[in-house]
Amino acid sequence: MKIEVNEIQISEIVGSLCKMRLEEDYEKEEMMVSIAKHGVMNPIKVKRTKKGYMIFAGHRRLESSRALGLSTIPAEIWEDISDEEAVLRGFIDNINRKDFSQLEEATAYTRLIDEFDLSVDDLVESCGKSRSRIYTLVNVARDLTDKMKKAIIDGKMSFGHGEWLLKIEDPKLRGELFQKVLDGETDIGDLKYQVYRQKPDSEKDYDELQLDLIEDICEKDPGIQAIWKKSVTIRRSRHGIKITVESGNLPDLIKKFYTVLKPLEEEGE
């Protein structure tokens, strides 16, 4: 495979084989300042075609150079390379960057599999990532809705939020929790707990069933509901219940604790 490095005309770059970035480039201004001062230090990678060049690595460097009004850019010119191999090399060029997000990685894996007929084993060998990681990311990327992907791209939730949302079996509850994530009312811990609540009672031990009973009482009791969202939060994991109470003084604190404990005592009688 022949490779040469030359300064090429930016106007001769006629397309892109696979642009990997989805999220906003927050380092673009820094890159433009660096290129304006020092030039493009790391050549982009292009494939020669009959009509010009197709870029497969270095899209941000190219965009910054265009924005600066540059007419040429240093490039590795690859001859006799297939589209599939070029895209894979471009992906490998990006995958280990600190700012390359999980959604971008997941989307890239999915495109490499769906559009370029690469197998997961091909990706494991080429990218050095585990098979389980690739399968997980691909499955999440395929199942995320467009709204969820946009929320991740816009920074309104993380890829982890999306992964746990997809584990919620009830579509209606999943939609409600997604909105709560966007509103800042639900975090990953809350989503993990909701996934846990789906576990059948037949698979829970005695302590877990007791926790279910306690929380059901707390959720249904009108006295607790009156102060629930204002100053009392109850979070639960498999290890127990965490009750956080905001209070201005000791009598108020005692009153709130009594409000929470009273229905539990009555249930136990």
Per-residue confidence at 228, pLDDT binned at 50, 70, 90? low
DSSP lists the bridge partners of residue 219 as none
Q: What is the secondary structure of 146-169 as a DSSP string?
A: HHHHHHHHTTSS-HHHHHHHTT--
**Residue 147 neighbours by CB distance under 10 Å:** 12
Chain-centre distance of CA 14, in angstroms?
31
Least confident of 22-31, 43-52, 180-189: 22-31
Reported for 192-195, long-range contacts at CB under 8 A and 24+ positions apart, including other chains, are: 192/164, 192/237, 193/235, 193/236, 193/237, 194/168, 195/164, 195/167, 195/168
pLDDT(8) > 90: yes
Residue percentage of the chain with pLDDT more than 90: 36
pLDDT(183) > 90: yes
pLDDT(232) > 90: no
pLDDT digits (tens, 9 = 90+) for 82-128: 888 888 888 887 776 666 788 988 988 888 888 888 888 888 888 88
Residue percentage of the chain with pLDDT more than 70: 83
User: Whole-angstrom Cα distance, residue 93 to residue 42?
Assistant: 12
Instruction: Give the CATH number of domain 3-94.
Output: 3.90.1530.10
pLDDT(234) > 80: no
Q: What is the secondary structure of 202-265 as a DSSP string?
A: GG--HHHHHHHHHHHHHHH-HHHHHHHHHHEEEEEETTEEEEEE--SSHHHHHHHHHHHHHHHH
Least confident of 21-25, 152-156, 169-173: 21-25
pTM exceeds cut of 0.85: no
Domain range list for the chain: 3-94, 144-197, 205-268
User: Whole-angstrom Cα distance, residue 140 to residue 102?
Assistant: 10
Contact 14, 54 (CB under 8 A): yes
